[in-house]
Amino acid sequence: MRKPKRHKPLNDLNCSHTPLDVNHSLIIVVELSQRSWLVAGVIPGVERQPLKKLPPGEEGMLKLIHRWRDEAEKAGHKITRIAVAFEAGRDGFWLARWLRERGIEAHVIHASSVAVPREHRRAKTDRLDTELLKRAFLGWLRGERDHCKMVAVPTFAEEDAKRPSRERQSLVAEQGAIVNRVKAALARLGIRAFNPTLQNAAEGLQSLRTPEGEAIPPNTLAELQRDLERRRLLLEQIQRIEKARLERLKRAPRTGPNAMVLLLARVIGVGIETADMLVQEILSRNFRDRRAVGRYGSLTGSPNASGNKHREKGLSHSGNARVRRGMILLAWRFLQFQKDSALAQWFYARTGKTPALRKKMIVALARKLLIALWRLVREGVVPEGVVLRPTH
């Protein structure tokens, strides 16, 4: 007997499932910039499609929305739905949250999902951009699938939870830049056997000598000492972030994201930092299926196939770059600590005779591993052959 087909849950980010009544809906799109906001609307009963430039500010836009609503009601159309959309960008999601708190339906459009003309030199102005946004948003409201895609608006707490991991990543990158700068400055003097990452590196600068037997010049020495002092400060800040994370996990180990982090950290080869990054960036989100997980992790290909032509243009960069970089590093580490797992054996079986394929196949392993970890934190399914640390 065949099993009944399981219907996939509706994905509200690809299309709207609320019927659109154009006679009672006020539709507004906003082109955001640092100096001004350009607001365009579709008002029922009003022939003109208004366009208004405002100084950046939520209160002014709210007054404009209410004014356009009053115009529609004067024309005999009772407004029961106000839908506002703008592109994802520098301003983030605060405006969408602010509008929703005031009973206004707000959406954030994925910028890369808006179709644009393909002319070599196409005109681009804020006015033309609002027309493109309006066309895309109207198609989405009508329920046309994949007309454009919306970005999930995180809560204030969800957005704030990502900050420690992202800040630590920035500090680590800044620390590496300082180390490289110190090494480059010493290399110009012919000094190569100095390690600036040592704990007493600042004190060791005084005793360094160039191949000519000269000490480091005073201005260069002062610059190197300031660099090493900045690196010491960065290390202290990184340690404070890591300590605060451990205290947070210890204080509330059974809450949703914290429980996921501790479960992932049980996988040998996955550390607390990697587990926290994956949970906050991708695994705590609600995805439709494993394909959506791979796409958001930016671990899917971008084929170019037409007729007899078929070639791969490389990884699609439309997803989360932090997840992609972290998962590729984790995949190499996974091969080292989980050699007997089914995923590692799958990798070795395909690259054993052709070692040149390892760099390409590691991306496929990273995608499979990400999906396996997603199933682990969502359904409790341990990947085959993966060894877990004992619970504490």
Query: Considering its fold, how many domains does the chain have in total?
Result: 3
Same domain, 240 and 275: no
Q: With respect to residue 161, please indicate whether it lies within any of the assigned structural domains.
A: no
The residues with which 151 forms a beta bridge, in sequence order, are: 108
Closest to 264 measured CA to CA, from 131, 382, 145, 146: 382
Same domain, 236 and 353: no
CATH of the domain at 55: 3.30.420
Please give the residue range of the domain that contains residue 93: 22-153
Q: With respect to residue 15, please indicate whether it lies within any of the assigned structural domains.
A: no
**Burial letters for 93-108: b for 16+ Cβ neighbours within 10 Å, e otherwise?**
bebbeebeeeebbbbb
Same domain, 336 and 287: yes
Per-residue confidence (pLDDT) for residue 392, from 0 to 100? 64
Same domain, 291 and 375: yes
Find out whether 44 and 75 touch, Cβ atoms under 8 Å: yes
Same domain, 57 and 138: yes
pLDDT digits (tens, 9 = 90+) for 329-347: 999 999 999 999 999 999 9
Question: Among residues 251, 272, 297, which one ends one of the domains?
Answer: 251
Per-residue confidence (pLDDT) for residue 171, from 0 to 100? 97
Same domain, 346 and 310: yes
Q: With respect to residue 132, please indicate whether it lies within any of the assigned structural domains.
A: yes
Low-confidence ranges of the chain (pLDDT < 70): 1-12, 392
| Cα 103 to Cα 101: distance, rounded to the nearest angstrom | 6
Same domain, 55 and 73: yes
Q: 42: which DSSP letter?
A: E
DSSP labels, 187-252: HTTT--S--TTSTTHHHHGGG-B-TTSPBPPHHHHHHHHHHHHHHHHHHHHHHHHHHHHHHHHHHS
Q: With respect to residue 320, please indicate whether it lies within any of the assigned structural domains.
A: yes
Q: With respect to residue 388, please indicate whether it lies within any of the assigned structural domains.
A: no
Same domain, 57 and 180: no
Same domain, 270 and 307: yes
User: Residue type for 267, please?
Assistant: V
Q: With respect to residue 55, please indicate whether it lies within any of the assigned structural domains.
A: yes
Same domain, 202 and 125: no
Q: With respect to residue 245, please indicate whether it lies within any of the assigned structural domains.
A: yes
Same domain, 225 and 286: no
Q: Which two tokens stand for residue 275?
A: 């587990």
Per-residue confidence (pLDDT) for residue 12, from 0 to 100? 64
DSSP labels, 235-289: HHHHHHHHHHHHHHHHHSTTSHHHHHHHHHHTBTT--HHHHHHHIIIIITS--SS
Question: Among residues 231, 251, 271, which one ends one of the domains?
Answer: 251
Q: With respect to residue 335, please indicate whether it lies within any of the assigned structural domains.
A: yes
pTM assigned to the model: 0.85
Same domain, 142 and 61: yes
Per-residue confidence (pLDDT) for residue 1, from 0 to 100? 40
